[in-house]
Amino acid sequence: MSNALILAMDSALRTLWAEPRASRPNPAASVAALELNPAEQRQAGALMRINHVGEVCAQALYTGQALACQSPALRAQLAEASREETDHLAWTKQRLDELNDRPSLLNPLWYAGAFAIGYASGKLGGDQVSLGFVVETERQVEAHLQSHMDLLPAADSASRAIVAQMKADEMAHAQMAMKAGAVELPATVKALMQAAAKVMTTVAHRV
């Protein structure tokens, strides 16, 4: 078994079953905690569960792409982006705990699907197509996070601080991929990605 495959398996195990550890301070740490009523707490918990699923998928996507990647320099860039996504994974998990809520029960399924997309995009299309998936994924995630800024309870300043930092990081990841030579994906592929994301967010809101 190759070292790359062992690392990919280790990443999957850590993402799905280990307690994630952030390398940067939680953006919510400097925000005054405000009390939420039960309805607000449920709403915030559902939205942060969706965001946590998004970070599980991000880990899987980058891991799959890195496994298929041909360029050592690009593999290093993907690894750096993955480390930042680990911060997001840790922050969203911590916020779920604070809200007395839980991650999605279907995280292994979400991980497997995103990993398959990442690996296939790298193997079948090459590094530039793989980067194109990064750009489009991050664009869609950025829009999704912006919608959550509108949906989160006004009093939930902690979740808002986390989502705002995540949004800034996703924009940076998209810019990195564009500078590295990403190609624009066909409109049909973008539409399919949006449809898949809609299914995931709808299901993860409850399960």
78: domain CATH number is 1.20.1260.10
pLDDT digits (tens, 9 = 90+) for 152-163: 999 999 999 999
In a domain, 44, yes or no: yes
Residue position matching structure tokens 């197509």: 129
Please, which pLDDT band fits residue 1 given cuts at 50, 70 and 90? low
The pLDDT of residue 40: 96
Q: Which residue, chain included where needed, has tokens 């009523």?
A: 37
Decide if 194 is inside a domain: yes
Q: Give the model's pLDDT for residue 69.
A: 85
* Angle formed by the axes of helices 127-151 and 157-179, nearest 10°: 160
Q: Is residue 56 assigned to a domain?
A: yes
| pLDDT exceeds cutoff 90 at 102 | yes
> Does any domain span residue 125?
yes
pTM (whole model) above 0.85? yes
* Mean pLDDT taken over the chain: 90
- What total of structural domains would you count in the chain? 1
76 within a domain of the structure (yes/no): yes
Which residues fall within 8 angstroms of residue 183, CB to CB, at 6 or more apart? 128, 129, 131, 132
Residue 23 lies in a domain: no
42-82 pLDDT, tens digit per residue, is 999 999 999 999 999 999 988 998 888 888 888 888 888 88
Residue 20 in domain: no
Structural domain includes residue 100: yes
> Domain range spanning residue 141?
38-204
